[in-house]
Amino acid sequence: MILAFDWTQLAQQTVIGLSNGGLWALLALALVLIYRSTGVVNFAQGEMAMFSTFVAWSLIHHGLSYWEAFFLTLVISFAGGVALERVAIRPVERAPVLTVVIVTLGLFFLVDGAARWFWSSETRTLPNAFSTRPINVAGVAFSIQDLGNIAVSLGVVALLFVLFQFTKLGLALRAAAVNPEESRLLGIRVSWMLALGWGLAAAMGAVSGMLTAPALASFDQNLMQPVLLYAFAGAVLGGIASPLGAVVGTLLLGVFVNLIGTYVNWIGTDLRLPVALAVILGVLLVRPAGLFGRASVRRV
């Protein structure tokens, strides 16, 4: 096996891994965004993204082009995320953390049920966002779809970075997450900042879902469940409160999972996730706060 080692294959598999990892990164960023403002992992994030993807499917079904539907879905998802926060999360804002976690689990069932209710359980397809034609880079053939996914993921990450670092709204969002009490004194509407965070997270999840679906032969309501697992694992690997960590963590995970699935036959598809999780556990035992996380210091 080692003798027939093929560098072209390694490069291709790495790009496929980066492409998957990029899509996971968007959902991981959504998790991090909500974690930083609310202190919980939103277990419903994947299902919300799945719901958005179904919305996009319906829009395309009604005659819109892929990219028209894409941007319209972003707006709808943003509004939906804000609405969910106002209805379900706001009433438990001051409740114990685990109560909020259980509410997000409730949202998981609710959104999943709604998607099965509104759309039948038959499998469906989404047109490709990018051409699947291969493109030749330095003698290695890559699919345009993979490169496009990576580009969109990085683009969204860059936009988010600009929003948070260079706009007044971003400053308010960060302040509300870091120190709600003082932000309130300074006139920031903290509660609404949380809702905006949920809206942004929902929109990012929608991007992830709408790019994940076309790559599959067909999809149904289980579309985003594996993506959520990988996004959660990648975000924790990077340090759950660190956006940079989430991106790096999921990209590393994407490449690792794809390479290990390709080169270690014994693992196959069944054991990919368990092996990846075991490796992450090993990393966490060395760095308990993740790769980019800071150990939390608490006063006694």
Partner 1 sequence: MRRALGIGAWVLAVAAGLGLFLLLPHLVSDFHSRDLARAGVFFIAIVGLNLLTGYTGQISLGHGALMAVGGYTTAALVVHEHWRDVWTIPLAGIAAGIVGFIIGLPALRLSGLYLALATFGFAISMPSLLKKFSGLTGGTQGLRFFESAPFQVTGLTGKVTIFGHAMTQAHFLYYLTWSIGIVGFALAWLIVRGRLGRVFRSVRDSEIAAVSSGVNLAATKTLAFALSGVYAGVAGSLLAIQDTIVNPLSFTFLLSILVLVGAVVGGLGSLPGLVLGAFFVQYLPSISTHVSSRPGVPDFVYGAAIILVMILLPTGAGGLLRRLARPLATWLYTRP
Counting residues that bind partner 1 (by CB under 8 A) gives 49
The set of residues, in sequence order, having a beta carbon less than 8 Å from that of 9 and lying 6+ positions away, is 262
Interactions with partner 1, residue window 25-54 (CB under 8 A): 35, 41
Q: How far is the CB of 185 from partner 1 (least distance, A)?
A: 26
Cβ contact 210:101 at 8 Å: no
Return the structure tokens found at 156: 């969204």
Q: Quick one: which H or E segment has residue 192? A: helix 190-215
List the one residue from 30, 33, 48, 107 that touches partner 1 (CB under 8 A).
107
Q: For residue 265, state whether it binds partner 1 (rule: CB under 8 A).
A: no
What are the b/e assignments for 254-291, b being 16+ CB within 10 Å? bbbbbebbbeeeebeeeebeebbbebbeeebeeeebbb
Interactions with partner 1, residue window 1-30 (CB under 8 A): none
Q: Name the residue nearer to partner 1 (CB basis): 91 or 127.
A: 91
Q: For residue 61, state whether it binds partner 1 (rule: CB under 8 A).
A: no
For the stretch 165-172, contacts whose Cβ atoms lie closer than 8 Å and that sit 24 or more positions apart, written own/partner, are 169/196
Q: Name the residue nearer to partner 1 (CB basis): 25 or 150.
A: 25
The DSSP letter of residue 219 is: B
Q: How far is the CB of 142 from partner 1 (least distance, A)?
A: 31
Interactions with partner 1, residue window 177-206 (CB under 8 A): none
Q: For residue 123, state whether it binds partner 1 (rule: CB under 8 A).
A: no
Q: For residue 280, state whether it binds partner 1 (rule: CB under 8 A).
A: yes
Q: How far is the CB of 281 from partner 1 (least distance, A)?
A: 5
The set of residues, in sequence order, having a beta carbon less than 8 Å from that of 180 and lying 6+ positions away, is 190
The set of residues, in sequence order, having a beta carbon less than 8 Å from that of 11 and lying 6+ positions away, is 140, 142
Q: For residue 217, state whether it binds partner 1 (rule: CB under 8 A).
A: no
235: nearest Cα among 280, 179, 285: 280
Q: Name the residue nearer to partner 1 (CB basis): 40 or 251.
A: 40
List the one residue from 175, 229, 244, 260 that touches partner 1 (CB under 8 A).
229
Which residues make up the interface to partner 1 (CB under 8 A)?
35, 41, 88, 91-92, 94-96, 98-99, 101-103, 105-118, 120-121, 229, 232-233, 236, 240, 270-271, 273-274, 277-278, 280-281, 284-285, 288-290, 298, 300
